[in-house]
Amino acid sequence: MLVIEDLNVYYAKAHVLKNVSLRVSQGEFVSIIGPNGAGKTTLLRTISGLKDGQGRLSFNGAPLPRDPVKVVQLGVIHCPEGRHLFPEMSVKDNLLMGAFRLKNFDPESELEKIYQLFPILRERERQMARTLSGGEQQMLAIGRALMGRPELLLLDEPTLGLAPIVRKTIAEALKQINDSGVTILLAEQNVPFALAHAHRVYLLETGVIVKAGTPEEFRADEHVQQVYLGGV
């Protein structure tokens, strides 16, 4: 579904991504792990057209546009780090904002799908987004992305700052989302979380893909064990 070849991205003179290549097949759950500052967010922003890059990017066999609006229209939906909700809008209105690309859709039917995935959002439907807890805001951000009916869902650090019980809720939701046929590309510092749900994994360090493989191969890797899994 998604093919990236020899991608290089710069911020001024800083070379942030260096000849990055990766592939995501339809229906896969692929995780990109690595430390803070490795370039994970830049990679997702480049895929979604928010950042310029040099290289080849294709989606479903055609060149991926460099216009973020056109990228969204193709079904590549980005749930960003930091959530970026509309704080003075209600939960319901935030969700409906995510459906702007859809034509002739039933709003209540689409909302019901999100409320089944995250029941707490139904209870908070009329609340302003700013009044939600951090975990509820993350559920809302994911729900808003899903309202666009993504073919490929880009998730940037969805567990950042969340309590373990909330991470478990997010994990269960992501499994349901992937099982429903949505392809997921996850960028995540929480390596145990990322490995638990992925079909394949890429390790990004200082802008370079240094390892690719299955979660089992990553758990058996001595470097990954020592640096990212606490020696487990």
Instruction: Give pLDDT, residue 231.
Output: 57
In a domain, 221, yes or no: no
pLDDT tens, position by position, for the chain (232 residues)? 999 999 999 999 999 999 999 999 999 999 999 999 999 999 999 999 999 999 999 999 999 999 999 999 999 999 999 899 999 999 999 999 999 888 888 999 999 999 999 999 999 999 999 999 999 999 999 999 999 999 999 999 999 888 899 999 999 999 999 999 999 999 999 999 999 989 999 999 999 999 999 999 999 999 999 999 975 5
Q: Is residue 139 part of a domain?
A: yes
- The dihedral of CA 91, 97, 99, 104: what is its sign? positive
pLDDT number for residue 12: 92
Residue 188 covered by a domain: no
Instruction: Establish if 67 belongs to a structural domain.
Output: no
Q: Say whether both 95 and 176 belong to one domain.
A: yes
Contacts of 106 (CB under 8 A, 6+ apart): none
What is the phi/psi pair of residue 202, to 5°?
Answer: -120, 140
Going by C-alpha positions, the residue among 122, 182, 199, 185 that lies closest to residue 139 is: 122
- Enclosing domain of residue 2: 1-23+53-60
Instruction: Identify the CATH number of the domain in which residue 125 sits.
Output: 3.40.50.300
Q: Are residues 91 and 13 in the same domain?
A: no
* Domain tally, the chain: 2
Angle between the N-to-C axes of helices 134-146 and 107-117, in degrees from 0 to 180, rounded to the nearest 10: 140
Is residue 140 assigned to a domain?
yes
| pTM across the whole model | 0.94
Q: Are residues 177 and 88 in the same domain?
A: yes
CB 200 within 8 A of CB 214: yes
In a domain, 177, yes or no: yes
Query: What per-residue confidence (pLDDT) applies to 54?
Result: 96
By the 10 Å C-beta count (0-12 exposed, 13-18 middle, 19+ buried), 71 is classed as buried
Do residue 17 and residue 97 come from a single domain?
A: no
Separation between Cα atoms, residue 181 and residue 100, nearest integer Å: 21
75-103: burial string, b at 16+ Cβ within 10 Å, e else: bbbbbbbebebeeeebbbebbbebbebee
pLDDT value of position 230: 79
Within-domain flag for 204: no
Contacts 24+ apart (CB under 8 A), 192-198: 192/229, 193/159, 193/167, 194/31, 194/32, 194/33, 195/31, 195/33, 195/219, 196/171, 197/29, 197/31, 197/171, 198/29, 198/30, 198/31
Q: Is residue 6 part of a domain?
A: yes
